[in-house]
Chain A
């Protein structure tokens, strides 16, 4: 089953923010729906990996009415399977939340979720497409990830109890594996193997590297005259942009209260695309490329070398004038941003150098995010506070869940070699 990105973008009805914001706070503070949040129990939604409700605050720019935007509510979900099933689950299990929240958004049907058809149509009408979407562990559903987690936990518990009896150290690898298998058969947890193993995924990635290179190289040659023209235009733009100095933007202090509470974190980054067709065209092309790579090559849990992103997406808002980025990642903001700079700065710079206030770049992908201080400052200033954020497996890092999947798949497999067993046991 595939994972998909849903972004529902709605304008907040004028004057409703004083009611909507506290409402989102109540939901965000009690994401499990056990206390004050009587609207939605995210845990009941079987299709969601990660979800967030974020308000993009209105901006008024008297010097440039083009940059005046209304308060905008965005719902981000990363879900399993087809859209209708997901939306219907959202309506049936999260109806109270939808009614409460979207009553403060333009155009919400007055009947609310009492008329599910109207709500489905409303939600669908407000979907904004995702030009670039990355999945850390593709083709693994929420249920699949949770199953792998439970299998690994069961094995760990079993090994601990065996260890207490002193029966582990002397066992051979094969014996130990057999005992683990025997135990799992007796236990409450039934291991369900992946539809596509991580090894198969890795092979698919390599195959796609070859295909991409075979198609890409001749295309590149064919387009080289165009690329040359584009490059000259890019350099003219970059030299011009480097002379623009803008004062720093304020940082929303609420951001810090929401960070580093769990193992995972969420990032919302909203930026204005640099004016003119050239930058927008370049940005769209880069995102198109990122999307292709994310679907073909970056399918083994690393986005340009960053190993901690569960899901990430870019989308355009306001007639392509603004670029929104969502990511759900492991570890602290500081380590995530550090990873960006250490491992993926070219890719990042290629995307965001086409947006306003990004640290000066050269040749599209150079400079920019290499200036770590400036890049961190830029990121903070464009970081939007998200009141509601949900994770279906908040204690699992991407690295953890991939280990879980490997262990589970290996344990149910009947064709392990001696080295496979050794490797499997080492991962625990």
Chain B
């Protein structure tokens, strides 16, 4: 069984009933008051157990995650930190990572608002969720609400108010989430649903899709003065710091609404130059793989079915039997790349699902909308993903499926929705008798800043708060 009580609630719930959220990025200036602060915030964190269907929905919750620098700043010993994977310790913006993630040109970390080489280092992410604006204001009055006197400097803050189930381009979002065995959410009973995944894909210290334990860094038992942490699976002289923790990816993605819909309109103008609204919607749906309603093209190839889009069955489909060639949902469309389900060349359907299952993420994104100093309005998505292995899950999806122009046998098409930072792209729409190829796709989504975080288990947070020295 999973120790749900020790796992932060965000892992197993997107807190959908709490539309108000705030993401506060902090830098630790003094470890001692920061640990005291941590002690005060921990009781505000709702666990995954509390997010079970049987429990009352909380009015608000806090979550806390650390960058690698942040773990060092609060006092985690260097050898434990070394046991964390390279992607995490190097961070999202350094080394070859921008190349891996497609963070080039307009997405270059040099241009980020936060998390890049030109901005103040990030140590801690404090994520606040509230059911109402008042409840969020109450958080601001709390004694622990970060201020410079609590041992921090405030690096960046982001508000989000989710007002609909749609992301800023207008498509229903957050549909495809993996089901997890032994989690607090009942497993789907629909036979067409994708199979549930092992908990080790989303939490450290449990069996994963390779039937291995997802590796969880340990600390020397002596440093765990009050024996807070769970024991380490292999080493009696150590306690597990990583167990019940996981990795959180945060990316602020600016979405250019006018560019997206404008391009779809231009690309579908009739011969006489007039706008073709149906063709425009259809093209947009082809790029995404779903209609705006959420209805997948594979299940309704000719026209939208809004009832299906809004129903619980909007994710109960695979590609191989109905849509192998991509005539409905193009091979290069966003949802077919982000989760190829049962069509991963050159494998058969069952093998494909098994392999796809090794590259899934739990998405916890929220939309944002803000007015810039220049007066222009900016909208976008605060992309948040949870996974136990950054390289094998988030980075793999981004690099091998989304940004890769050769995905599944394509020749030169990147993800039409979120990629093409390296220049105008192409999109192949499979069609009879022969494909249609669209050229000159601009970049619609721009990376504005982000970081990799470790989202510790609650006991690991208490361990950090109790560190000596």
- Interface residues of chain A, those whose CB is within 8 Å of chain B, are 156, 159-160, 163, 166, 168-169, 171-173, 176, 256-257, 259-261, 263, 302, 307, 330-332, 334-335, 338, 341-342, 370-373, 395, 397, 399-400, 403, 422, 425-426, 428
- Shortest CB-to-CB span from A389 to chain B, Å, is 16
- Shortest CB-to-CB span from A63 to chain B, Å, is 25
Q: Is the CB of B433 within 8 A of A400?
A: no
Q: Is the CB of A260 within 8 A of B406?
A: no
Which residues on B sit within 8 Å (CB–CB) of A332?
Answer: 100, 396, 399-400
Q: Is the CB of A334 within 8 A of B99?
A: no
Q: Is the CB of A403 within 8 A of B409?
A: yes
Chain B: interface residue total (CB-CB under 8 A) = 35
Residue of B whose beta carbon sits closest to that of A400: B411
B439 in contact (CB, < 8 A): yes
- Interface residues of chain B, those whose CB is within 8 Å of chain A, are 95-96, 99-100, 210-212, 215, 271, 325, 345-346, 354-355, 358, 391-392, 395-396, 399-400, 404-406, 409, 411-412, 430-431, 433-437, 439
Which residues on B sit within 8 Å (CB–CB) of A256?
Answer: 95-96
Which residues on B sit within 8 Å (CB–CB) of A395?
Answer: 412
Of the A-B pairs whose beta carbons lie under 8 Å apart in the complex, a sample of 5, sorted by A's number, is A330-B406, A334-B400, A338-B392, A400-B406, A426-B430
Q: Is the CB of A159 within 8 A of B434?
A: yes
Which residues on A sit within 8 Å (CB–CB) of B430?
Answer: 426
Residue of B whose beta carbon sits closest to that of A402: B409
Chain B interface main SS type? loop
Answer whether A425 and B210 are a contact pair too, CB < 8 Å, given A160-B439, A332-B400, A403-B409.
no
Instruction: Give bound CA distance, A400 to B412, whole Å.
Output: 10
- Shortest CB-to-CB span from B140 to chain A, Å, is 42
Residue of B whose beta carbon sits closest to that of A399: B409
Q: Is the CB of B434 within 8 A of A428?
A: yes
Instruction: Give bound CA distance, A159 to B391, whole Å.
Output: 39
Which residues on B sit within 8 Å (CB–CB) of A399?
Answer: 345-346, 406, 409
Q: Is the CB of A169 within 8 A of B99?
A: no
Q: Is the CB of A160 within 8 A of B96?
A: no
Residue of A whose beta carbon sits closest to that of B211: A370
Which residues on B sit within 8 Å (CB–CB) of A422?
Answer: 433
Instruction: Give bound CA distance, A341 to B212, whole Å.
Output: 12
Answer whether A331 and B406 are a contact pair too, CB < 8 Å, given A342-B355, A373-B212.
yes
Instruction: Give bound CA distance, A397 to B346, whole Å.
Output: 13
Q: Is the CB of B437 within 8 A of A160?
A: yes
Which residues on A sit within 8 Å (CB–CB) of B395?
Answer: 334
Which residues on A sit within 8 Å (CB–CB) of B405?
Answer: 263
User: Which has the most chain B C-beta neighbours within 10 Å: A261, A338, A395, A422?
Assistant: A338
- Shortest CB-to-CB span from A337 to chain B, Å, is 9
Which residues on B sit within 8 Å (CB–CB) of A260?
Answer: 96, 99-100, 399
Q: Is the CB of A334 within 8 A of B399?
A: yes
Instruction: Give bound CA distance, A166 to B269, whole Å.
Output: 13
Instruction: Give bound CA distance, A342 to B396, whole Å.
Output: 14
Answer whether A341 and B433 are a contact pair too, CB < 8 Å, given A259-B96, A399-B345.
no
Which residues on A sit within 8 Å (CB–CB) of B439?
Answer: 160
Answer whether A331 and B404 are a contact pair too, CB < 8 Å, given A172-B433, A302-B346.
yes
Which residues on B sit within 8 Å (CB–CB) of A307?
Answer: 345-346
Residue of A whose beta carbon sits closest to that of B324: A426
- Shortest CB-to-CB span from B89 to chain A, Å, is 13
Instruction: Give bound CA distance, A148 to B434, whole Å.
Output: 19
